[in-house]
Chain A
Amino acid sequence: MINLLILLLMSGKNFFVCRYEKMGWNYEGVKPKQGIRINSMNAKRDDDVTKRLQSLGIKLEKIPFLQNGYWIRRSEFSVGATSEYLLGLYSIQKAAAQIPATLFTKLSDKFVLDACAAPGGKTVQLANLMQNMGVIVALDIKRRRLIALSNHLERCRVENTIVYQMDARKASGLRMKFDRILLDVPCSGNFVIDEGWFKKRTLEDVERNAKLQREILMEAAKVLKDDGEIVYATCSLEPEENELNIDWAIKALNLKVKKINCYGEKGLTNISGMQLDNSIEFCRRIWPGQTQGFFICKLVKRACTR
């Protein structure tokens, strides 16, 4: 009975909206614009693709903080049903989701792990940034999602990727060490991408996801080379899955937060009176508005000095 009461108190729209206010953001209903990313590997120039889409009656707007990203201002039909899409000239990808892959330094010849890869938007983006060179190892746990990932790779002409059906928490079973690791971890999501979010989510869910994310972070730290980079991303607004997890990773996994220069606000260093590591302000928290909600952090592994 007490558990049920706690559950009721720690869920529902009022509970979460109140939390966001305490974190400095006033709730507002948001309908984010659909985004696309031009696959520069397949399109000779962005202009060629945008002109072709505009000739079909699709109105585009350049996303100011992304190199190859465009918002769909207006389209009479699904942008997933054009020749240009089927030929791999662009991918449908939300604006905020286009940020994480761009935060790695020097990707082209690197050995990269995409630990929670399906449905593959960010894997294709990594392959683009790498110009199909180097190697990407892409993991996902569910076979159905791997089929979507494989179709995405084939459509977008990715050549440098191996896909395994594997739980990211078992990545050390690959017996490989990586220069770069993308952790687009499973998360609680947010109310912008899921209309029924407030009704179905509780703090218990959030904490369960945060635990899973820490397990993935721990495994990633094991398979990361010294001086390697991890980019950690969630589409959750909850601090347990974001700043608190990063604070834990700094202390428990010998990882260090690197300053990033991208769209978003500073990460929160004080959550409900709990003071976190100051470097967490280098993370980026994106409150819903122009894009959906998102959290991004770049971590580096401190090389052993012994």
Chain B
Amino acid sequence: MRFIEDFVSRFQVRISLDKNLVVKKQNRYFLLIEDLKRLISDDFFYAGTYIGKTKKGKFFPGFNLLRMIAKKKASKIVVDKKTEWLFICGRDIFKQGIMQVTGSRRKGDYTLIMNQHGECLGFGKILCHLDGVKDGVVIKNISDVGDFLRREK
């Protein structure tokens, strides 16, 4: 659980998950609603809300955890429509595609990537101080919802 909190804190916010409602299946973590908690048995395959997995000691968040973070005053950038699609296709983000920045602008911090409808598309890592450059790649894509398509291949 600590690693989830550590991950969330990289967006300059905190989320408290009820430990009793988080279940682990191999390396995957799920957040349950109370009704599911009462019923679940050890041999489940998927349950409730998928919040992420660990691999070689590193945490990889699910998109619903990112959505939960996005509801807080987390670091986020809003991108234009063209950049939205390029990001979903796995591309990094150019400064010109950013419409709005909230929270951290520091190099090395994580930031959520949002579209103009306020929907979370994934997250990335800030490559250089966002106020310090006029163009070029400024956010490295770490995870985007295009992953749902890539998983099918």
Contacts and interface: CB of A to CB of B under 8 A. Distances in A.
A83 B121 contact: yes
A86 B115 CA distance: 13
A86 B50 contact: no
Contacts of B106: none
A300 interface: no
B145 A81 contact: no
Interface stretch (A94-102, A156-164, A243-251): A156-164
B4 to A, nearest CB: 16
Given A83-B85, A160-B35, A149 B145 contact: no
A162 B39 contact: yes
B149 interface: yes
Interface in A127-160: 134-135, 137, 146-151, 153-155, 157, 159-160
Interface in B130-153: 145-146, 148-149, 151-152
B45 A165 contact: yes
Given A87-B119, A134-B35, A154-B63, A162 B145 contact: no
Nearest to B28: A150
B33 A164 contact: no
A176 interface: yes
B84 A162 contact: no
A80 interface: yes
Contacts of A155: 63, 145, 148
Contact of A86 (B35, B36, B67, B88): B88
Interface residues of A, number: 27
Main secondary structure of the interface of A (DSSP, over half): mixed
A83 B46 contact: no
B45 A86 contact: no
A135 B35 contact: yes
Contacts of B36: 135, 160-162
A52 B36 CA distance: 35
Q: Which of A134, A135, A150, A159 has the most CB of B within 10 A?
A: A159
A135 B39 contact: yes
A157 B151 contact: no
Contact of B45 (A150, A160, A176): A150
The 7 A-B residue pairs with the shortest CB-CB distance, nearest first, are A163-B46, A150-B46, A86-B145, A163-B45, A162-B47, A154-B50, A135-B35
Interface of B: 33, 35-36, 39-40, 43-50, 62-64, 67, 84-85, 88, 115, 117, 119, 121, 145-146, 148-149, 151-152
Interface of A: 52, 80-81, 83, 86-87, 134-135, 137, 146-151, 153-155, 157, 159-165, 176
Given A86-B88, A163-B44, 18 more contacts: A83-B85, A83-B115, A83-B121, A83-B145, A86-B149, A87-B121, A137-B39, A151-B151, A155-B145, A157-B49, A157-B67, A159-B33, A159-B49, A161-B36, A162-B39, A162-B40, A164-B44, A165-B43
